[in-house]
A = this chain, B = another copy of it.
Amino acid sequence: MSQSDEPLPEPTPRTPRAEVRRRLLAAAAKVFAERGYADSRLEDIARAAGFTKGAVYSNFGSKQELFGALLRERSDTESTAVLAEVRGGGDLGDALRGAARLVARRIVDDTERGRLGLEFAARAAREEPTREVVAALRRAQREAASRAIAEAARRGGRGPAVDPELAALILHCLTNGLSMEHLADPAAVSAETAEQALTTVLTALLAPPPRS
């Protein structure tokens, strides 16, 4: 009883640096996504992560650099779930429909992703350094899509109806276009609509419509 009735300063263990960095990036993603780069206050990002500006400048050299780090992080993290879906066993038609549904879901559910993508694109359009990173990211995405398509076409029996690279570009751009449209006019692009659009193009490119 003699030792402690006082507040007991309880020496706070310091958050691991890597964790600080991670939280800051997550907060940056959120804030950049919902306000855009220019309208995002460095202090708001820090606060959202549970820190102060000091933490930001301790981990990143500048606002621009934080943005770049986020962009690079996303480049690495880019999910390949879609490809797995396409590669999954079973009927090719089912696989394609599954992939379409997955992408459509992401378009309407994960708006942060879409918004960030839009912000990345907007900045890439006018900033050379950003453009280089974004271009690389997109190339990698199209490349992956291209491979998946080639595989699907092979699986589908007859040789590729269209050049897989072209098909990849089409699907990639259609996806991004749908995402953008959903952000600009949510009512116009429901999950079902997006899915239908993707399925339509996907099957048109890979599997000539089952003639009646």
Interface membership of A183, Cβ < 8 A: yes
Could you tell me the distance between the alpha carbons of A24 and B118 in the complex, rounded to whole angstroms?
A: 27
Residue contact B166 to A196, C-beta cutoff 8 Å: yes
**Residues on B with beta carbons closer than 8 Å to the beta carbon of A161:** 209
Choice from B36, B124, B172 contacting A183 with Cβ under 8 Å? B124
Residue contact B170 to A201, C-beta cutoff 8 Å: yes
The number of chain A residues with a CB under 8 A from chain B is: 52
User: Which of A87-95, A147-155, A185-193 lies at the interface?
Assistant: A185-193
Interface membership of A108, Cβ < 8 A: no
Could you tell me the distance between the alpha carbons of A121 and B208 in the complex, rounded to whole angstroms?
A: 34
User: Which of A8-16, A46-54, A132-140 lies at the interface?
Assistant: A132-140
User: Which of A59-67, A77-85, A98-106, A173-181 lies at the interface?
Assistant: A173-181
CB distance from A195 to the nearest CB of B (A): 11
Could you tell me the distance between the alpha carbons of A165 and B80 in the complex, rounded to whole angstroms?
A: 31
Interface membership of A38, Cβ < 8 A: yes
